[in-house]
Structure 1
Amino acid sequence: MIIHWGLQLTSRNKALAGYRDCRPLPAPHCIAIALALSRPTTYSIHVRSMSASHKPGCAFRAGVIPSQHQRGYAAMEFSQLMIGLAGTLAALCTLAAVFIAVDTVLPPAVWARFNPLVKAIFMVAAVLLTLAAPLAVAPGVIIDVRGAIVAAATLFGGPWVGLITVLAGAFYRWLLGGAGAIPGVLGFVAAYLACLALVHGWARYAPARRRPRLLILGAGVAVGCTEALSLLLIAPPVTGWQLFITLGPMLALAQLLGTVLLGSLLDLLEQRQQAQQAIADRERQWRTLWENTQDALFITDIDSGHIVDVNPAAVALLGHSHAALVGCHYSALVPPLWRTQAAPYFTRTTSAPLRLLDIVLQHADGHAVTVEATSGGALRLGEREVVFSSFRDSSERHRTRQILDRLDWTQAVINRCVLALLGAQSEAELYRTLCAALTYADAYACVGVGEALLDESRSIRIVAASGSQADYLHGIELRWDDSPLGQGPYGEAIRCGQPQASAEITAQPACMPWWEAARHHGIQSLLAVPLRIGGQVFGVLLVHSRNAGAFGATENVLFQDLANSLGYGVAALRTQAALKHAQQERLEQEQRRREILQQTIAAVASIIERRDPYTGGHQQRVAGLAVAIAAEMGLDADRIEGLRLASVVHDLGKIQVPAEILVKPSRLSPIEYALIKLHPQAGYDVLAGIPFPWPIAEMVLQHHERLDGSGYPLGLHAEQILLEARILSVADIVESMSSHRPYRPALGVETALAAIAAMRGTQLDPMVVDACTRLFNERGYHLDLPAVEQPVSSLPPHLRAL
């Protein structure tokens, strides 16, 4: 409360002495203010009138106010306070009505854009009315609810709206003047700071509900800041505290109620705005969904069955205009055969959703449109009950399903064909497997493979057929010449080398020779695809179906690829067969060549033995022992065979040594021995030009070489000597010492084994020597020596001395 208009009070109670305001008071309102203090007192009142009818300085005679009149004066002053408060509330209510009207008239988009500006204008007007209304109703007393205005502005408008409100109110209060101007301005500032502290500093600790926060805010502003500061600043301390104690509760209650009422009003308005915005957002979202969804949406009146609204997708689906669809009966959009199934999606009354179902609608041009229908249930739209239905074009889904089924079937066929190509051992097996794969799960009535023959009639021979109607192919005659039997798709595919299809066999004149058979087996369409190897057509793949027009572009590509794969498979099988045949011939030739070589070598060995009867059978025995040693050492069969042949002819070079030297019974001269040492080189020279698969010439050349280089004719060392030659050396020594010679009798196997043991590791290969020793000592091997030959150890002493 702020009291104005040049009023001066004196009293025996000095508490009110010196209380002063600075605004002139009109004469009719120069009254004494008696407040209901704690005890009765009397007042002498001097009123200095500032009106025209009272000169300055003129004062009323002092008098005594009886205590019984104090309550009357207090009641009079209280009534003026209430009148001022009522005027303030009336002004605020009027302003609130204007605010509600503005909120109602402005569109939500405009309100959302200019919301802070409108709130700032409203709050400034409210604070100005709060200060001006009491002056118009009850001059002399201003009871304002500035704290409530500042609190509402800061709470609902934010710091900037609150600041604008405070600046406008403070400026207007300063214009009113009086001793309370400065306290009034400071009251605005204090209220604003308190609101900032409560709203933006303590908001997270405040109750979640809005109205309890308003109560707390109103109490804090009213009691803590505005009135306390105002009452304490415009009066002396003692008087100010007495005024605060007397009028403070009433003023605090007024501020509290003003804050709650104004805040509740703004809260309701804000909730209303939020609800309107939410409704607008929902409507915008719904409209966006309605206009942009790919599903055809229908809203149908349940009672009448007439369509209330459709979306653009429905217009595109059925080909009708929006105006033509809205208002028409749903049955006009459904073929007669499908109206029973479609009725629940347009006229149903249950609230439970319907399951997905494929139904048929009718396009504007008359063709059927397969859709996937669903319904969300009955709902009330205004005064009528409607049903919301959704229809999705499932034609593409059906086409996709057919494509996927075809791809699955194709993949299965390709897999089986690949297995057939990989596993088939012959052309006939490949043809049978392929035909069985193409008729899997009765996909086609019959499938066959025909071979184009080069006979006089140019006939087509069925080499494989499969399917439930395979007898059709076995019962008809097919050709690829110029006769009527060769003019149909079967012969044309071979002649021109391109796939030939017949969508309806019984309707194509070129297929007349096979009409009766096709009708009998229920075959309506066929596809003939040529089979090629290297560009040359050798046959035809024949596919027959029970359905008319079963072979389109996709099938043509599929079977053309299969025919190409079949051609590759046949070419591979034929190439493989040719390779096998060539390999077999090569093996047979190689076998014959080996036999010839062996026979030739045997003949040569026989000639050698005839020149030297004393060494007859030597080469064969050496060959047998060498083969046994090689087997004991683990050599493979091919190397053993080469070693055997080399052993048979290892003394071939002796053919150039004079027979007299070979059969000489006495010791050879150095020249004669030198001639004997030339036989390995001579044998090599004879054999080197023959293309043996083994190094036979080298074995013959090295069979007298020794590990330490003491051998002849080249003086080779260790690994320079072939393993086969090292084996041949040991076998030659053992057989020679064990056999009879012209210059000495047989020495025996024991002597021979002792001799090679003595040369083990120096002249002879230790592994070969060990293998030879094991043969005789552990394996029981023996040489087939002639019966006339006896070892020296078995002769009498006088003969052994010789």
Structure 2
Amino acid sequence: EDEVVGKKVTIIMPQRFYRAFEERFRKAISLGHPTKEAIEVSALRKDGTEIFVEWTFSSWRQEGELFFTGIGKDITRRKKFEEKLRESEEKYHRLVEQANDGICIVQDGILKYLNRQLARMWGGSVQELTGRPFAELVPSGGAPFIAGRYRKRMKGENISERYELALQRKDGGKFFVEVNANLIIFERRPADLVIVRDITERKRQEEKTKRLYSMQKAIRQINQVLLKVRKESELFKLICKILVDEIEDFKFCWVGLVEEGFKVRPVAFAGFEEGYLSQVKVKWDSSEYAKGPTGMAIKRKKPFVVNDIENDPRYSLWRKEALERGYRSSAAFPIMNEDKVIGTVNIYSSQRDFFGKEEVRFLEEAAGDIAIGIRSLRLERELKKTVEELEKTTEGIIFTVSKIVEARDPYTAGHQKKVAELARAIAREMKLPKDKVEGVYMAGMIHDIGKIYVPSEILSKPGRLNQIEFSLIKTHSQYGYNMLKDIDFPWPVALSILQHHERVDGSGYPQGLKGDEIILEAKILAVADVVEAIS
């Protein structure tokens, strides 16, 4: 006390606050009446360190003289706490503003606060969105859902905090988000703290994966149909039906065959056609009617895609009819026979930009499988016609068919002849009747006839076959049986061909027969086939 009493007040005051003190004194003098004022300043301790002090001043006059009373309160701890609080608020404000997720506070359905990221997701500014109803971000179909959840949360009901939702951008486009909403107190009233994470790309990838899986499933079904159906007209109808039924966004599909006069004749369709094929004209010449996906796919011999029917100028001739039926994108895939286009598979989606690279690749594969099936059916028809013409002479039929196979694959023909001779020798060694010996020989001469339906590039492929290629190879015994089953041979030729890859332990194909379920002629052929193959 003795160290400060009688000293100037500035002894306990940092120099930077002199002016502030002086101004307060002058103000008190100029008022000319008692006053009280408080000021927060730093004060000096004896050791030179500073503390925060809240000064309250009183002034009064007595007998014409002006007196001041100052009461100082140490507020150092409070000021340090306030500083930490300010720093904490700034820190969390920076975190919120720099977050990759959108963050907002919704009270009474109104956006009271939002960060820049949410504004960027919406496509506008923070100022534009602040004060607007949150429901404006939600497409009309989702607004009742959001409002219902908000009311339940305000009532304290136990509902899921996290859910997925489609929101609407400023330009009307949609984006998908994952919402995490929690009840908080904001400005002394209940509100929602909402964290919004943009999952549009994730949803897009999920949809793409789902779509590609559907395409894989459709291709598997098409391959099964190719093995079973024997008529082109039925095949085309089933293919269209499978594609529309299995792939969600396929609205319409049709198959057209190329004809003279640069025409394309629709032969099958499935889905939402509604008279479309009768209203449009499609050609593959040099006219405007050939500039759509179908005509271009035929001329270029490769897939052709229009991913935006509404705006692509190449679709102008068919746009009105297509849009009226909800078609938004279209693609055509050529059906090839050797190097010639014999038709197209034409697909229409309800989604714009549906046909990406992977979708095109899958559908191109399907078109290739269809081409193989058609080729097989036509070859089967041609072969059956040849057999019918030669059915009067059984031996003539056998040798004629063998020549047909040899013309396509000389190695198979050479193999068949050796198997036939070896099978005949085995039958003779077994002391079988002469007619059975002859029947075994005749079956051996054409036991691989079904390979005529297997693409030559697979038959002659060097190296190891993949699973699909091997599965096609394995169909040759069934195809051979289908070709010959209706011919009235004096021996079980067709059945021998069907069973010549069966094994007594049940490990063979196509039926997995065992023991006595396999006819003797087929067993002999099986032995001869294996021996010849490894010799």
Q: TM-score range by the shorter chain?
A: 0.3 to 0.5
More strand, by proportion:
2
More helix, by proportion:
1
Q: Which has the larger radius of gyration?
A: 1
In the superposition, the TM-score normalised over structure 2's length comes to 0.45
In the superposition, the TM-score normalised over structure 1's length comes to 0.32
